[in-house]
Structure 1
Amino acid sequence: MAQLQTFFANSHHVLEIASGTGQHAVYFGQALPHLTWQTSDLPEHHAGIQAWLDEARLPNVLPPLVLDVNQPDWGVTQVDAVFNANAVHIMSWPSVGNLFVGVARVLAVNGMLCLYGPFNYGGNYTSDSNAEFDGWLKARDPASGIRDFEAICELASSHGLVLREDIAMPSNNRLLVFSKVS
């Protein structure tokens, strides 16, 4: 929470890509009332997101947009921050690339992208549990898997995003913070 308070301190409109159940949106919407938090996901997740939003009744958290990173129209023209938790490892690598294409399109210059999840470094797992989790992911979908930090940074850089912070988080996760420079 403290990290997002810092990185989103000057932001006003956050797009959350792949809001999942909606619990992150409610948590961060309550804690960061200065932000308008736009939820999004594939249509099959909207009912669950909306249930969380209906219960919380937060004026700064918006109903979910249909957002498929593989489609060119995200329903958003510009935001000054993007948040994504635990999605790049369940997407195919081409979809991760499309996520960065879309982020580069909708994120304002100097805007912040925060990616949360597990990452490998130098092609190596950071823990035995991440190695087991990667095996589970690939058994479920061979196109998924824990992504390499270096590959994510290279992809981000190719879309005008510069790594600002790499922060250790609980349970062998990381928060990668990028800003758009061009």
Structure 2
Amino acid sequence: MRDDIAQVLRKILPESGVVLEIASGSGEHVVHFAAAFPHLQWQPSDCEQSALRSIAAWTAESGVVNVLPPVSIDVEQEAWPARCADAILCINMVHISPWSATLALLRHAAALLPAGAPLYLYGPFVRDDVMTADSNLAFDASLKARNPDWGLRDVADIDGAAAACGFVRGELIEMPANNLSLVYRRA
């Protein structure tokens, strides 16, 4: 998965600047991407203290020098410690959070990103014009059983919410395991 995402990132990331990763989790992805894109500074974040410790440990173990110390970001909080970004990545958060978190992510991304900068979303999504894989339907049901506010999001709903925040979807890329890469750009 990391290498497949990296192939997409090669086409969309800027030549220089700061890439803010929202919901970095363990830190495995940010370390991998930092090694693959040494010309960029990577700013990992998460809302869980255990994840922030894990990110710091992964970074220290890897020896990459272009990962900034992780910051605590709860997407639904009004103030984020990040003041600027040249790209934002959010991998596997949209479906494992309430819809309000996606709306907050879009709102904050619109405030942080300069015109033309990418917002990259990755994960399983639903589309009206494409049959949803049985495995994704089962995953959606398991997410909703854990929390009724969670679940796979419809790409059309994300497109609409993104447009309301000044984003245009530039690309929808089919990924392995019935996942999608959605690339939005700030208008």
Q: Give the TM-score band, short-chain normalised.
A: over 0.9
Q: Does 1:42 align with 2:54?
A: no
Q: Between Structure 1 and Structure 2, how many residues are aligned?
A: 181
* Partner residue in 1 for 2:3: none
TM-score by length of 1: 0.96
AA aligned to 1:40 is S
The letter of the residue matching 1:131 is L
- Which residue identity is paired with 1:48? S
Counterpart of 2:173? 167
Secondary structure in 2 matching 1:34:
coil
Give, in angstroms, the shift of residue 124 of structure 1.
6.6
Q: Name the residue aligned to 2:164.
A: 158
Q: Deviations over 1:77-124 (max 9, x none)?
A: 111100010000011011111111111111111111110001100187
Q: 1:85 and 2:59 equivalent? A: no
C-alpha contact (below 8 Å) 2:15/2:39 kept by paired residues: no
The equivalent position to 2:70 in structure 1, one of 46, 60, 64, is 64
Unaligned runs of 5+ in 1: none
Give every structure 1 segment of 4 or more consecutive aligned residues whose post-TM-superposition deviation is greater than 6 Å.
none
- Give the structure with the larger strand fraction: 1
RMSD, aligned CA: 1.3
What are the ranges of 5 or more consecutive residues in structure 2 without an aligned counterpart?
Answer: 1-5
Tell me the SS of whatever aligns to 2:70: strand
Identity %: 42
Distance 1:23 1:125 in 2: 31
TM-score by length of 2: 0.93
Shift, 1:3, TM fit: 1.0
Indicate the SS of the match to 2:170.
strand
